Structure 1
Amino acid sequence: MHESAQGPRVTPAAGRTAPTPRPVPGPRSAATPRPGRPVPGPARPTPPAQRAHPAPAPAPVTPKGVPGRPENRSEPQLQLIPAPAGGALDAAEEAVDLLLESGRAPGDILVLTTGEQHPWAAHELSFGEAAYWAQQDAGDDVFFADAAAVDRAKPRPVVVVAVNGDADSTVARALPVARDRAAGLLIVCGDPETINSALGAGV
């Protein structure tokens, strides 16, 4: 009796294990989160940013004993009209007339005399000093005053000084104060040498 023919026999390789088939994942919906990643919760409101307040600027310090002076204060324009002491008052009156003709308001002008007072001032003082100085406060007209009382004179845009006296000490004290009282223009009528020595060189 003959043995039946057999086909080739497949022998599994030694040590190999048959692979286990992996399950095929099904379709994942968009709502299904990926494993291992947390789902973010609702966004927290961002706290408002704090505004940085600038530090206050330090106040300017004025040295002790030194009065504050406005930085925009400039020297007035100076005009010198040479005249002898006897004709200084007439020259000052002519200067006032020219100022009024050019459009200056009467209340803008202050006239100071270093010697004999202007006739208008002498007349008004006869009614008392209170009424006299009240006209300066009103500021409606040209005001005439003695240079000896220049400290009581208030600043005006134009100051005219008639150097009609021979007392150099009065001139030396009055002219610097008159320059401070003039806001825009200082006109001095008198001897140039006396005026130069009172106001300084370069006039």
Structure 2
Amino acid sequence: MPLIPEEPQIHESAQGPRATPASGQSAPTPRPVPGPRSAVPPRPGPPRPTPPAQRTPRGPSSAGAVAPPAAGTPQLQLIPASAEGALDAAEEAVDLLLDSGRSPEEILVVTTGEQHPWAAHELSFGEEGYWAQHDARDDVFYADALALDRAEARPVVVAAVNGGDVSAGLSLARAKAGSLLIVCGDPQRVNEMLGAGV
């Protein structure tokens, strides 16, 4: 019986080209498309930090502090952000809320200026389907502050102060927040609008 030569072995180093980032830095992880999600997928790498501990305000300029709620008003937390960075800050806040155990259906994200990309996308298919998703209450919902008269209250409202009528937008967002209102925006401007000393 003739001998059959062994099949060549494929070594790990011969699997093809690999993307190696320049200067030894790790390659950036692609960001997911913003918008509602029904489950939080596990993230690679070290675990994300837990949300900041609730603090009492130290003065009018203490960024990130939480104002103790008065009877019947939601707790208020401020995340400093520019108008251009408010949407990103709101997305991070939603991620932290979900990572800390909040259910997606408990969260309403409000924009005071330009619509969140998810809301703009869903509205491109018509208002009926967009509001049907709101009424289903099974995921995070994104709305423009001016459309909040139609939205129902949720335990947590995350407000992205990204322009527009900030005063009216924050008042409406506060009215829709059950227990927690997180505002992503310029601390001085938010303090002026809400007068909360956050």
**TM-score normalised by length of structure 2:** 0.63
Deviation at 1:178, TM superposition (A): 1.0
Corresponding residue SS for 2:169: helix
Please list every run of 5 or more consecutive structure 2 residues that lacks an aligned counterpart in the other structure. 1-69
Match of 1:128 in 2: 126
Deviations, residues 30-67 of structure 1 (Å, cap 9, x unaligned): xxxxxxxxxxxxxxxxxxxxxxxxxxxxxxxxxxxxxx
Aligned match for 2:73, one of 75, 89, 100: 75
Partner Cα distance (1:93, 1:195) in 2: 19
Deviation at 1:73, TM superposition (A): 6.0
Deviation at 1:198, TM superposition (A): 1.3
Deviations, residues 132-176 of structure 1 (Å, cap 9, x unaligned): 0111110000000111112112100000000011x3xx1111111
Match of 1:7 in 2: none
Instruction: Return closer, same or farther for 1:131/1:73 CA change in 2, 3 Å cut-off.
Output: farther
Aligned match for 1:89, one of 87, 90, 94: 87
**1:196 and 2:194 are equivalent in the alignment:** no
What does 1:1-203 align with in structure 2 at a 5 Å threshold? 74-165=72-163, 167=164, 170-203=165-198
Mapped contact 2:145–2:172 kept (Cα < 8 A): no
Aligned length in residues: 129
Partner Cα distance (1:202, 1:162) in 2: 18
Partner Cα distance (1:135, 1:73) in 2: 31
* Percentage of identical aligned residues: 71
Please list every run of 5 or more consecutive structure 1 residues that lacks an aligned counterpart in the other structure. 1-71
Deviation at 1:201, TM superposition (A): 4.2
Deviation at 1:114, TM superposition (A): 1.1
In our comparison, the structure showing a higher alpha carbon Rg is 1
Partner Cα distance (2:142, 2:87) in 1: 11
Q: In the alignment, residue 87 of structure 2 is paired with which amino acid?
A: L
Partner Cα distance (2:112, 2:185) in 1: 10
Partner Cα distance (1:91, 1:112) in 2: 12
Match of 1:65 in 2: none
